[in-house]
Structure 1
Amino acid sequence: MGGFQGGLGSLSLLSDAESRSISAENPTGARGGGAKAPTPESPHPSHRLGEGWKVRPAINIAPGETVVLADIEGPAIINHIWITLRETGLRDCVIRLYWDNEKTPSVESPIADFFANAHGLRYNVNSIPVNVNPSGGFNSYWQMPFRKRCRIEVENQHWNELRGFFYQFDYSLTEVPDDAAYFHAQWRRSITTRENPEHVILDGVKGQGHYIGTALSWTQMSDGWWGEGEVKFYLDGDGKYPTICGTGTEDYFGGAWCFGETYSAPYLGYPLWTRDEDDVPKHGLYRWHVLDPIRFKEDLKVTVQALGWWADKTFQPLTDEIDSVAFWYQTEPHAAFPDLPGPEGRWPRTKRDWGGS
């Protein structure tokens, strides 16, 4: 058996795959390459113990610095990613993944959003492919195969040094089947308008693949119900009308009747709802298409509408701010992503930004 295994039923099966892991203690992932940082001098926490005793568990990233966290020769499969960092970097640190020497990233997102944490906040997510555990342990179990090379970068776009950035990438050196597609993730932001109350989650995808998930950050401009809009999937040449159309935002995320409370489940969740007198309402949601991937052969576009209610019980177009990360697999090459806004274009909004008092 190769490295493509999953579920408890396959754990007893032998495999020729070789397990490797990259962290600050073993930055190359080499066999026997861990815990080799030089013996520290006082007053380092491990100076009494010496080499091999948690000398370099994390790194610091200077303002504006881009660090290559992993550079792996394939064929291989990334099985698990774990990261934790200070809260100042949740929206100001950008993670990028490149497959097989490509020039543009297949994954580009603020770090917290990649792990379904919205609005630069840190909170628990209890799903199967993504877990965020106390106090800010970010875990991804999306399987990421590649054939030639994987490069993982993090850029610190914060104005201060980011101290104490921890990471670990667990992967298998193994053959990759011909029909295995490449993992992609893309962040986008919209401020919807009365004239066009719609956020584009994903567009411009060309080639064959399948859509596997949505992480959504929703900031309300005003009070009231905000989730009446539908999520739509335009597949393989669809024009004005989509092939797949849901019945409402809360329905797409597995809830009903305006939610009423938060929840976090294996494949979908609404783990964040915040509201106080000093801020506007904010929501964080996720939906993983693990058992129901959206297949496409030529192209894909995904949108969500921003709709509430007028007093006369007709739909009200909303002017809300919506951020999203789309997750999908596809054949390469992929289309270049839209330019990622700078940190000021990603910072969470507050009542002051909307002109509230």
Structure 2
Amino acid sequence: MADIKGPGCITEIFFTTDHVKLSELVLRIYWDNEEVPSVEAPVGMFFANGFDEHKHAVQSAVILALPRNAYSSYWQMPFKSHARITLTHEGTEDISCIAYRVMYQLYKIPEETMYFHVVYNRGMTCFDKPTYTILEGIEGEGCYVGTYLAWNALNSDWYME
């Protein structure tokens, strides 16, 4: 999706597709030639839409999601030398349309600037273990900015109250 030589800052990512299952599309962002991505999440989760066939609108300072598959991220994502964004289709159905735009500005980034990271986890709860840990094993300095949580039933005969 993007291969940017910096320094600079990604200011917007716009994404749309006709593919219903956003959970099958994985977004990865790598900073400064790292081998392991700092962002790795299904597209729907990244844009606060984790329910595939059931899209919902989101209007916040950093995420805009329109129910007909139009998504924008306004997170500021600085990088010191290089940014690379990839999109991988991990499903089996053909996709006829994907469109995107990555907006960025090139400028010097202060040495103490923090990098943007996304942690995606998936787990199950049950009567024996009714809790779900949001963050675990995070190390280093940073600024926690929030959580998007999508809780799905794995059985179609069960509904949540």
Which amino acid in the other structure matches residue 197 of structure 1?
Answer: P
Contact persistence 1:190–1:200 (CA under 8 A)? no
Deviation per residue, 1:195-247 (Å, 9 max, x gap): 32111222111111010011011135xxxxxxxxxxxxxxxxxxxxxxxxxxx
Name the residue aligned to 1:93: 25
Q: Name the aligned partner's letter for residue 99 of structure 1.
A: W
Q: In structure 2, what is the equivalent of residue 5 of structure 1?
A: none
Q: Distance in 2 between matches of 1:88 and 1:129?
A: 23
From 24, 44, 57, the counterpart of 1:112:
44
Pairing 1:183–2:113 present: no
* Aligned mate of 2:130, from 197, 215, 237: 197
Determine which of 218, 221, 233 is the counterpart of 2:151: 218
- The structure whose RCO (Cα within 8 Å, separation 6+) is larger is 2
- Whether contact under 8 Å (1:130, 1:141) holds in the other structure is yes
Kindly indicate whether residue 6 of structure 2 is the aligned counterpart of residue 74 of structure 1.
yes
Deviation per residue, 1:152-206 (Å, 9 max, x gap): 0110011022221000000000111122100011211111122321112221111
Work out whether residues 19 and 97 of structure 2, in 8 Å CA contact, stay in contact via their aligned partners in 1.
Answer: no
For residues 144-293 of structure 1, the aligned pairs below 5 Å read 144-220=77-153
Asked if the contact 1:87–1:122 (Cα under 8 Å) also holds between the matched residues in 2, the reply is no
* In structure 1, distance between residues paired with 2:141 and 2:95: 39
Residue identity matched to 1:184:
H
Q: CA deviation at 1:136?
A: 1.8
Supply the AA of the counterpart residue of 1:98: Y
- CA deviations on 1:124-167 (whole Å, 9 max, x unpaired) are 10111101125221010000000011110110011022221000
What's the offset of the Cα at 1:108? 0.7
Structure with bigger gyration radius: 1
**1:351 and 2:156 are equivalent in the alignment:** yes
Q: Which runs of 5+ in 1 are unaligned?
A: 1-68, 221-348
Name 1:83's counterpart in structure 2. Answer: 15
For residues 186 and 153 of structure 1, what CA distance do their matches in structure 2 show? Answer: 16
Give 1:7-86 correspondences, 5 Å limit.
69-86=1-18
Percent identity of the aligned residues?
37
TM-score by length of 2: 0.91
Q: TM-score, normalised by structure 1?
A: 0.42
Query: Do 2:27 and 2:41's aligned partners in 1 also have CA atoms closer than 8 Å?
Result: yes
The 4+ residue runs of structure 1 with deviation greater than 3 A are none
Whether the 8 Å CA contact 1:88–1:158 is kept in 2: the answer is no
Q: CA RMSD in A?
A: 1.5
Distance 1:85 1:145, change over 3 A: same
- Determine helix, strand or coil for the equivalent of 1:180: coil
Q: Could you tell me how far apart the structure 1 residues matched to 2:130 and 2:59 are?
A: 31
Aligned residue identity for 2:39: V
CA contact (8 A) 1:97 1:107 kept: yes
Separation in structure 2 between the aligned mates of residue 102 and residue 350 of structure 1, nearest angstrom: 39
Task: Return the offset for 1:350.
Answer: 4.0
Residues 94-131 of structure 1: CA deviation (Å, up to 9, x unaligned): 00000011111100111011000122132210111101
Structure 2 equivalent of residue 276 of structure 1? none
